[in-house]
Structure 1
């Protein structure tokens, strides 16, 4: 039986961020920070956590909006939730978000169940944070699903120094074709970057239960992401 729990992660400013964690059956294991879209720590994110735990990883879903409001849990099918989600989204501080994810990373590295390796996977807003983490932090690797507004920080691309995978939905109304073309031009030359394109996929194609969920693309992207984590989050080989 998979173990799951809610925890409090200590932050550098003295506060605490809530988080949901799913643990694999076998430890020590690598860890994955699953960074939400704009809907909070909801059923979709708990589902993602369990997917990665089933693949052998400790998976923690941080309460990303904790500075604005704690415990947010929203749905794309509720009009009032949609309004609230966008209010929180546009009030979110990305720079503080990256610092918060560094604190989560430090927390995961010290867990008794951890092998010391930490990656991240992010969706939409979380996808942009994954890109920024690969530019600014020592995360072991990160995967972005349809990251929004990465182009606003494309000037940081020269600092991208950690393995980074990007899943591009080519019918994404939040990431226009011109933006995807820009990202391809700017990111592809970096040997640490892998980009996968999904020609028929819309934004949030991996959002379980969401309006634009598409199982074939979601399954393919999950397989690629797990393979990526398997490469980068394995324990260091013991010295001969």
Structure 2
């Protein structure tokens, strides 16, 4: 069993590599110093990093769903999105845009979209790296690309996806958004910019508290207790939203790391916290998109 303090330090190093764009050689050197050898370092990294092999919970060919990759343009630039529609549904459905992490539209995010569809929604997961050629298979390259995203263009494309989604058949005309990490930050920015009816942010860095006055939609915010990087922005954001009288529900899950919902990362995934947050998320979306 890995010593908890060693594991926590390893997670911190990996998160610094992921979010501060450190090079992989630096990560390996730091992990080897921590773990005692290059072999042990690689094992630590493998346990923390997302594993595409563990991505699928809902089969892409699940007969309850109609799933397809759609391409076109939004805001005058190439656009791509994974759309999932439940084949059988009682009554119109709300639409949920699923916003990816800083690795782009991965198999895991596509799987999350299928889970949301099975929970009673139309799910649309945009690839916000499409204007740059689309999500690459190499996650390090995807992280490099995400740092060069034209954020105004990404917001405009998301508003375009939301506007198109309102016109889909068998829908309520309401559009929510769920985002994780980079995507969680994106949900907060969309709440400020407008264009959606409800938002759920998982461990997403927050805008400046002064932006809270611009929010016009209900928000649900999920935070990890050990994720101090995001907490530094999240706490003031929640306080500002509440002070401005905005409809916000915020939860901090004790003893868990950033990305605790990502079940493809063995070291960071926390089943109890993930299931609790997921249940709250689905109930929130039903209230706001089907009410």
TM-score bin, normalised by smaller chain: 0.7 to 0.9
Is the contact made by 2:215 and 2:246 (CA closer than 8 Å) also made in structure 1?
no
Which residue of structure 1 aligns with residue 109 of structure 2?
45
Which residue of structure 2 aligns with residue 31 of structure 1?
95
Residue by residue over 1:44-99, the C-alpha shift from the partner in whole angstroms, topping out at 9 and shown as x without a partner, is: 1012111111110000110111122314345xxxxxx2x32331222122222111
- Structure 1 stretches of 5 or more lacking a match? 75-80, 236-240
Matched, 1:18 2:80: yes
**1:132-147 paired onto structure 2 within 5 Å:** 132-147=189-204
Between stretches 154-163 and 183-192, larger displacement belongs to: 183-192
Check 1:192–1:92 CA distance in 2 against 1; reply closer, same or farther (3 A cut).
Answer: same
Is the contact made by 2:105 and 2:125 (CA closer than 8 Å) also made in structure 1?
yes
Check 1:134–1:9 CA distance in 2 against 1; reply closer, same or farther (3 A cut).
Answer: farther
Which residue of structure 2 aligns with residue 185 of structure 1?
239
1:217: how far off? 1.0
Residue by residue over 1:83-122, the C-alpha shift from the partner in whole angstroms, topping out at 9 and shown as x without a partner, is: 3233122212222211111001011111123221110000
- Structure 2 stretches of 5 or more lacking a match? 1-62
Is the contact made by 2:99 and 2:126 (CA closer than 8 Å) also made in structure 1?
yes
Aligned equivalents of 2:257, 2:116: Cα separation in 1 = 23
Which residue of structure 2 aligns with residue 90 of structure 1?
147
Matched, 1:4 2:67: yes
1:9: how far off? 4.4
Matched, 1:221 2:284: no
Between stretches 63-72 and 28-37, larger displacement belongs to: 63-72
Aligned equivalents of 1:85, 1:154: Cα separation in 2 = 29
Aligned equivalents of 1:163, 1:194: Cα separation in 2 = 8
Q: Tell me the secondary structure at the aligned position of residue 105 of structure 1.
A: helix
Matched, 1:204 2:259: yes
How many correspondences in the alignment?
Answer: 224
Is the contact made by 1:207 and 1:213 (CA closer than 8 Å) also made in structure 2?
yes
Aligned equivalents of 2:195, 2:276: Cα separation in 1 = 27
1:145: how far off? 0.3
How does the TM-score come out when normalised to structure 2? 0.72
Matched, 1:63 2:127: yes
Q: Tell me the secondary structure at the aligned position of residue 217 of structure 1.
A: helix
- Structure index of larger Rg: 2
Q: Tell me the secondary structure at the aligned position of residue 233 of structure 1.
A: helix
Which residue of structure 1 aligns with residue 31 of structure 2?
none
Check 1:9–1:199 CA distance in 2 against 1; reply closer, same or farther (3 A cut).
Answer: farther
2:186 corresponds to which of 114, 123, 129: 129
User: Normalized per residue, which structure has more helix?
Assistant: 2
Aligned equivalents of 1:71, 1:179: Cα separation in 2 = 28
Aligned equivalents of 1:85, 1:126: Cα separation in 2 = 14
Is the contact made by 1:138 and 1:162 (CA closer than 8 Å) also made in structure 2?
no
